Structure 1
């Protein structure tokens, strides 16, 4: 079996330099030395012993990422977020284990337990609730970054300002002259959805509009948005002239529902989504959306987690990201050219 010492002899370096190249650190290596090591690795067919590496470093070099996607892993937000997490983890020398709790608390607990049994070095929890007992069990054993507004104090917490985003979306529709603005939302007990709905209510109150207005709940999916929008748009007497959907998938489903009812977007009903998924730029008309900095959040979450793994007892971090309105044709704004 080819060893690290064999690679070092052929490359003309020390075994420690070989280790730094293979592990991307912890010490820097000159470009020339790195090239010699990589050439020697290729020539000799060297494969590091992962078990020995883990024993030496007391790490498994794996990160667990658990999403809470009721649409079965199809949400653009979760897909884009986990992809960006994986990219940063790979660059830092870590592999990613991915689980989808499908909004099921028992399944979420099961994934947390299994990933800890696999001795992952850290966890990213994307809107995944953790019981107090489980959270206490994790204290001091594995660093955790949550993408949510509420979490135990020893978890790092990242989130977007959902209420302000809901306010921006509704305010924009009000500025277009709409007064009957419906809400196509997921279950309101899901924290981000409830906060986006509260932002909508705040904008309506500021405009002097009382009451909740037309609301229809549906699954956080294309189909859920379609079904909820049908319920709101079928009534001709009090039909809303605009819809704010709690995620982009629901907004796209709502646009299809409007088309099936013979309604034009935005002439008969304006539509605004929330997420900033890439797909929003490709609908016809383009979907106006409240854009979350998904890639930035994912990079920040992964870097924060890796930092906590490599610097034991690092203080937990709390960071709230701003959301940005991206206007397109679905609300009545001019349609941008190209891909929006």
Structure 2
């Protein structure tokens, strides 16, 4: 069996340098030495013993990523985030195990338990609720980064400013002259959906355009609950999918006093809402304007192009992965909290000039 010492002799380096090249650290190696080591590895057919390596280092070089998607189709946020997360992990020498909780708390719990049984070095939880007893059990065993607004104090927490994003979207529609603006949302019990609705409502309140119903009274210091928001007749809930956006928008656009603009909690729902408008004989944006949330790449390819609140998805994934790796490698074990800003990207669906993709 070819050993690391054999590779070192052929490459003219020390066994430690061979280890640094194979493990991508922890110490830097010159490009010339790296090329010699890789050439020797290829010539000798050297294959490191991953099990022995893990036992020595007490590490598996794997990260578990659990996303709160669903089987009916979900926000492009999750797919783009996990791809970016995997890219950064690969660059740092880690592999990624991916689980989809399908918005099922029991399934999410099962993935957490299974990944910990496989001794992953860290976990990224994307809007996955964790029972307090499970979170306490994880303390000191495995570092965790959550992509959510709420998390135990010993978890790192990253999130986008959902309320401000909802406010920006609605304020932009108000500036276009709309006075009756509907909200097509996912389940309001989910924190980001509710926060985006609160931002929608804040923009309406500031413009004296509060929708009718019990939830139109001035906000108290406490945030409105999902039940409060459901009382507004300009809010329609639907699944995180094209079909969910389509059916929710149909309910709003078929009403006697239909809205002239819609803000959707994710881009996928917004695209479904645009189809609902077309099926009702309504033109976008002349008869109904539409704004989404996420900044999905697909939003630029609808007709007209979809105006959206863009999350810095790649930046958040990079920050989450680097934070987790730093905790795994004991570089920085202090929990981090970081809230990212969202950006309004204007296209034709709101009535703004339509940018052309051709350069």
TM-score normalised to the size of structure 1? Answer: 0.98
Contact residue 72 and residue 241 of structure 2 kept, 8 A: no
Q: CA deviation at 1:14?
A: 0.4
Q: Once superposed, what is the RMSD of the aligned Cα atoms?
A: 1.2
Q: Could you tell me how far apart the structure 1 residues matched to 2:130 and 2:331 are?
A: 22
Q: Do residues 10 (structure 1) and 10 (structure 2) align? A: yes
Q: CA deviation at 1:234?
A: 1.4
Q: Unaligned regions of 5+ residues in structure 1, if any? A: none
Aligned partner (choices 316, 335, 339) of residue 320 of structure 1: 339
Alignment-derived partner of residue 332 in structure 1: 351
Alignment-derived partner of residue 254 in structure 2: 234
Q: Deviations over 1:203-260 (max 9, x none)?
A: 000001223451110001111001100111112x301000000000000000011111
Cα distance change on mapping 1:241 and 1:91 into 2, 3 Å: same
SS of equivalent residue, structure 1 residue 170: helix
Alignment-derived partner of residue 208 in structure 2: 208
Q: CA deviation at 1:313?
A: 6.7
Cα distance change on mapping 1:222 and 1:205 into 2, 3 Å: same
Q: Could you tell me how far apart the structure 1 residues matched to 2:73 and 2:51 are?
A: 32
Q: CA deviation at 1:72?
A: 5.2
Moved more, 310-319 or 110-119: 310-319
Alignment-derived partner of residue 193 in structure 1: 193
Q: Could you tell me how far apart the structure 2 residues matched to 1:164 and 1:295 are?
A: 20
Q: Superposed, which structure 2 residues align to 1:178-189 within 5 Å?
A: 178-189=178-189
Alignment-derived partner of residue 65 in structure 1: 65
Cα distance change on mapping 1:74 and 1:188 into 2, 3 Å: closer
Q: CA deviation at 1:70?
A: 2.1
Alignment-derived partner of residue 87 in structure 1: 87
Between Structure 1 and Structure 2, how many residues are aligned?
339
Contact residue 71 and residue 221 of structure 1 kept, 8 A: no
Alignment-derived partner of residue 258 in structure 1: 277
Q: Could you tell me how far apart the structure 2 residues matched to 1:135 and 1:74 are?
A: 26
Contact residue 281 and residue 339 of structure 1 kept, 8 A: no
Q: Could you tell me how far apart the structure 1 residues matched to 2:160 and 2:288 are?
A: 27
Q: Could you tell me how far apart the structure 2 residues matched to 1:38 and 1:74 are?
A: 42
SS of equivalent residue, structure 2 residue 293: strand
Cα distance change on mapping 1:34 and 1:73 into 2, 3 Å: farther
Q: Could you tell me how far apart the structure 1 residues matched to 2:71 and 2:347 are?
A: 26
Alignment-derived partner of residue 101 in structure 2: 101
Alignment-derived partner of residue 20 in structure 2: 20
Q: Could you tell me how far apart the structure 2 residues matched to 1:117 and 1:75 are?
A: 29
Alignment-derived partner of residue 222 in structure 1: 242
Alignment-derived partner of residue 303 in structure 2: 284
